[in-house]
Amino acid sequence: MLEHLVVHEPQALEEGCTLRRLWMAGQAAETRSPELTTLVPAQATTSASRGNPLSLPWFAQLDSATDQGRRMCFSSSCAMLLAFLRPGVLSGPNGDDQYLARVRQCGDTTDPVAQIKALASYGNTAQFSKQASFSTIEVRIAAGFPVPCGYLQRGPVSNPSGGLHWLLVVGLTPTHLIVHDPLGEADLVNGTTVGGTDRFCRYGRRNVARR
């Protein structure tokens, strides 16, 4: 709506007008670098690009043969990362269950320390961060590495709530993150889960930032 005003009614956005203040706030929200909770693959910072989006398998957390399906999004996301970094280490559509077994030797599926230890046991180094940004993800994707990322999944986008839900960022555009979501497609505006097979789904940066 405001974009149309810029073209058709430029006087509505003159200095001091309420609409101008709203428009400027919206522009700032889109360009601001948010703090993101991520688990960043730390090795091979000079790796050649492998594409954008990166091509890798998708694991669904809810088909787990364990009793952890509802709470293993972190493990499923890291399992997708591991399957990309170490092809053949995990086998079949339930490879995330195999990875989960390793995680549980190190701690709980929701614990970043357990995830880092589990990845290290396969020969992969990662770092947990609550101060990452879209720039962090851009650098890692350009280097050829997908990035597990956590966000508040429930409640409206204006007031997100609930615990962290994890997914894997496999690519990006100037306006969207391209993700593999182990729970299925999310409705980021309303804080609900649409479900289904969520491979290469586009999540708007603006909504991700607010969560």
Q: What is the DSSP string of 112-132?
A: HHHHHHHHHHTT--EEEEEEE
- The encoded tokens of residue 56 equal 């890798």
Q: What is the pLDDT of residues 88-104, one digit of tens each?
A: 999 999 999 999 999 99
All residue ranges of the chain with pLDDT < 50 are 1-33, 44-47
Q: What is the pLDDT of residue 181?
A: 98
Q: What is the pLDDT of residue 124?
A: 96
For helices 73-85 and 95-106, angle between their N-to-C axes, nearest 10 degrees: 110
Catalogue all structural domains in the chain, each as residue range(s) with its CATH number.
1-31 (no CATH), 33-210 (3.90.70)
C-beta atoms surrounding 163 within 10 Å:
11
Residue 191 CA, chain-centre distance (Å), reads 15
Q: What is the pLDDT of residue 44?
A: 46
Amino acid type, 193:
T
Q: What is the pLDDT of residue 19?
A: 45
Contact predicate 186/175, CB 8 Å:
no
Q: Which residue in 184, 182, 201, 185 sits closest to 97, CA to CA? A: 182
